[in-house]
């Protein structure tokens, strides 16, 4: 689904990615882990079409990526919710914008079919257990509910690719585990390709069928750890899970080149 070929990208003459290539197949769940400042968020922004490679190319489904695409959902650490809008309005936001601009991001022609908003928004609020707080503002609900609102807002737009940047970082451990499992269920049900950036080793091992380990930039060839047990709640209680956590910890400590 995603092909990065020979991508070079950096800020102010300092390369973060040098001749960097990576492939993601449709339906895969990836976790990207690495130290602060190594370029994880930048990699997501490149995949979202919010940054352009200085050299090389990114293709999604065989099409060169030149701008954000309608079927890519992006969920950020601080949820990006509008504080002055209710949960319902926050979830409806993307559909309203799409109705105004059209699915391709340009102004919709006057005779464009008006997509339904009410039904899908209510359905997602129900599905994510948010119906009771639909008239609340983000400041009046818990961190877990805010994160579920952000997930509902992304999924109501029917993405096929979901990019998540440290989505559960500020949540307590039980809420984080619930939302990790919910995200995996939704990934399966909605046939999503999932790419999740995290600092947290346990989260990477639960979420990523394949885990990209980034060291200090510039990054050339990504280190990839295969992790086929990801996504199964029972996996957390197995020896294989603990071994993967240990393997990842070692990979993160090892200097580049010796992994």
Ligand X SMILES: Nc1ncnc2c1ncn2[C@@H]1O[C@H](COP(=O)(O)OP(=O)(O)OP(=O)(O)O)[C@@H](O)[C@H]1O
What is the DSSP code string of 213-258? E--SSSB-SPEEEE-TTTT-GGGGGSHHHHHHHHHHHHHHHSPTT-
The correct pick among 6, 23, 37, 243 for binding ligand X (CB under 6 A) is 37
**173-189 and 143-155 helices cross at what angle (nearest 10)?**
10
Q: Does 219 bind ligand X (CB under 6 A)?
A: no
Q: Using an 8 Å Cβ cutoff, are 137 and 146 in contact? A: no
Which residues are CB-contacts of 138 (< 8 A; sequence separation ≥ 6)?
A: 79, 81, 82, 83, 85, 87, 90, 146, 149
Q: Does 42 bind ligand X (CB under 6 A)?
A: yes
Of 194, 199, 255, 189, give the one whose Cα is nearest residue 230.
194
Rounded Cα distance, 6 and 15, in Å: 13
Q: Does 258 bind ligand X (CB under 6 A)?
A: no
Stretch that binds ligand X, among 8-16, 59-67, 79-87, 152-160 (CB under 6 A): 8-16
Binding mask 88-107 for ligand X (x = CB under 6 A): --------------------
Rounded Cα distance, 22 and 40, in Å: 14
Least CB distance from residue 255 to ligand X, whole Å? 18
The correct pick among 39, 120, 215, 222 for binding ligand X (CB under 6 A) is 39
Query: In terms of CB distance, is 93 or 211 closer to ligand X?
Result: 211
Query: In terms of CB distance, is 38 or 128 closer to ligand X?
Result: 38
Q: Does 16 bind ligand X (CB under 6 A)?
A: yes
Q: How many residues bind ligand X (CB under 6 A)?
A: 11
Query: In terms of CB distance, is 21 or 41 closer to ligand X?
Result: 41
Query: In terms of CB distance, is 76 or 157 closer to ligand X?
Result: 76
Give, in degrees to the nearest 5, the angle at Cα 33 between 182 and 15.
135
Query: In terms of CB distance, is 16 or 130 closer to ligand X?
Result: 16
Residues contributing to the site for ligand X (CB under 6 A): 11-12, 16, 34, 36-42
């Amino acid at each position: 689904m995603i092909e990065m070929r020979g991508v070079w990208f950096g800020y102010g003459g300092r390369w973060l990615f040098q001749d960097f290539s990576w492939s993601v197949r449709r339906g895969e769940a990836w976790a990207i882990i690495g130290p602060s400042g190594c370029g994880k968020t930048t990699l997501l922004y490149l995949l979202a079409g919010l940054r352009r490679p200085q050299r090389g190319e990114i293709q999604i489904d065989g099409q060169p990526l030149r701008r954000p695409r309608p079927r890519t959902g992006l969920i950020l650490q601080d949820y990006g919710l509008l504080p002055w809008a209710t949960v319902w309005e926050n979830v409806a936001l993307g559909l309203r914008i799409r109705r105004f601009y059209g699915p391709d991001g340009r102004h919709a022609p006057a005779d464009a079919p008006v997509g339904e908003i009410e039904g899908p928004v209510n359905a997602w609020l129900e599905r994510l257990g948010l119906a009771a707080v639909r008239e609340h503002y983000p400041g009046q609900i818990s961190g877990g509910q805010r994160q579920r609102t952000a997930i509902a807002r992304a999924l109501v737009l029917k993405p096929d690719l979901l990019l998540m940047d440290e989505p559960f970082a500020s949540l307590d451990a039980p809420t984080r585990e619930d939302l990790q499992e919910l995200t995996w269920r939704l990934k399966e049900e909605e046939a999503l390709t999932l790419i999740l950036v995290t600092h947290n080793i346990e989260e990477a091992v639960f979420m990523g069928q394949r885990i990209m380990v980034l060291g200090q930039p510039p990054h050339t060839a990504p280190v990839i750890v295969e992790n086929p047990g990801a996504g199964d709640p029972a996996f957390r209680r197995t020896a294989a899970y603990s071994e993967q956590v240990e393997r990842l910890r070692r990979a993160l400590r090892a200097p580049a080149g010796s992994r």
